[in-house]
């Protein structure tokens, strides 16, 4: 016979604990679900790269079925393209908005700080951009971002070269060199995170502006000097 006496909890010892009902799933609109999938895929692409990330993993982490991913993006390639496009636009907007100073040294400093700010605040997004793009991805990669930034820098340098009597045709070469230097340093700083981004920017500008033969012993950004 089942012992139905109450235990310390007030329940009968022979009574079964009722099964716990699963938590109700929050129903999302199509737009909300799309944003969720983009955020989820962004993290996985940053962590594992395009090739090592599967639709199954994206769906599992987002707690949806695989058909939902295909319904919104047509597959992993379509989702990856959306993630990369967003990051490219976000990075370009940051750099473009930062270029407000008229002096060339100030512009180099602003561009360097804008990239380092992005790396610091959007590390996953930067990791997605600097990873190898899948075959057929076209221009949606970090190289295309750097080319866009270099083209903007080229116009600025061209005007300065002309005013100073230098050959403006060399502006393209110098803009590629400057942007490449900042970008490669940014990739290193993504994991190193030392020294502070202001110090990294100061040393980049120190090299770009003064050259190896005229390096300052303890460089600082113009912004830092104004705050003293």
Q: Label residue 110 exposed, middle or buried (CB < 10 Å: 0-12, 13-18, 19+).
A: buried
pLDDT beyond 80 at 139: no
| pLDDT the model gives residue 119 | 93
Task: State phi, psi for 17 to the nearest 5 degrees.
Answer: -70, 125
* Helix%, strand%, coil% for the chain, nearest 5: 70, 0, 30
What per-residue confidence (pLDDT) applies to 157?
A: 79
pLDDT at 169: 87
Q: Over range 6-14, report the average pLDDT.
A: 47
Tell me: pLDDT of 11 over 50. Answer: no
- Report DSSP state, residue 6: B
Supply the pLDDT for residue 134. Answer: 65
Q: pLDDT class for 103, splitting at 50, 70, 90? A: confident
pTM of the model: 0.74
| Mean of pLDDT values over 178-201 | 92
């Amino acid at each position: 016979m089942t012992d139905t006496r109450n235990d310390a909890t007030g329940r009968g010892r022979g009574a079964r604990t009722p099964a716990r009902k699963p938590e109700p799933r929050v129903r999302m609109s199509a737009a909300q679900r799309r944003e969720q999938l983009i955020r989820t895929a962004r993290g996985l692409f940053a962590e594992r790269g395009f090739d090592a990330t599967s639709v199954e993993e994206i769906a599992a982490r987002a707690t949806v079925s695989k058909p939902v991913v295909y319904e919104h993006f047509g597959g992993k390639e379509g989702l990856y393209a959306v993630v990369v496009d967003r990051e490219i636009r976000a990075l370009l907007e940051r750099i473009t908005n930062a270029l407000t100073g008229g002096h060339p040294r100030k512009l180099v400093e602003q561009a360097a700080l804008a990239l380092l700010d992005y790396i610091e605040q959007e590390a996953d997004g930067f990791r997605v951009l600097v990873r190898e793009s899948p075959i057929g991805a076209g221009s949606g990669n970090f190289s295309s971002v750097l080319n866009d930034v270099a083209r903007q820098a080229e116009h600025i340098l061209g005007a300065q070269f002309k005013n100073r009597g230098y050959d403006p045709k060399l502006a393209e070469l110098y803009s590629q060199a400057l942007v490449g230097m900042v970008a490669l340093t940014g990739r290193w700083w993504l994991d190193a995170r030392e020294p502070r981004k202001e110090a990294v920017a100061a040393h980049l500008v120190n090299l770009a502006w003064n050259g190896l033969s005229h390096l300052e012993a303890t460089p600082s950004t113009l912004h830092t000097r104004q705050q003293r």
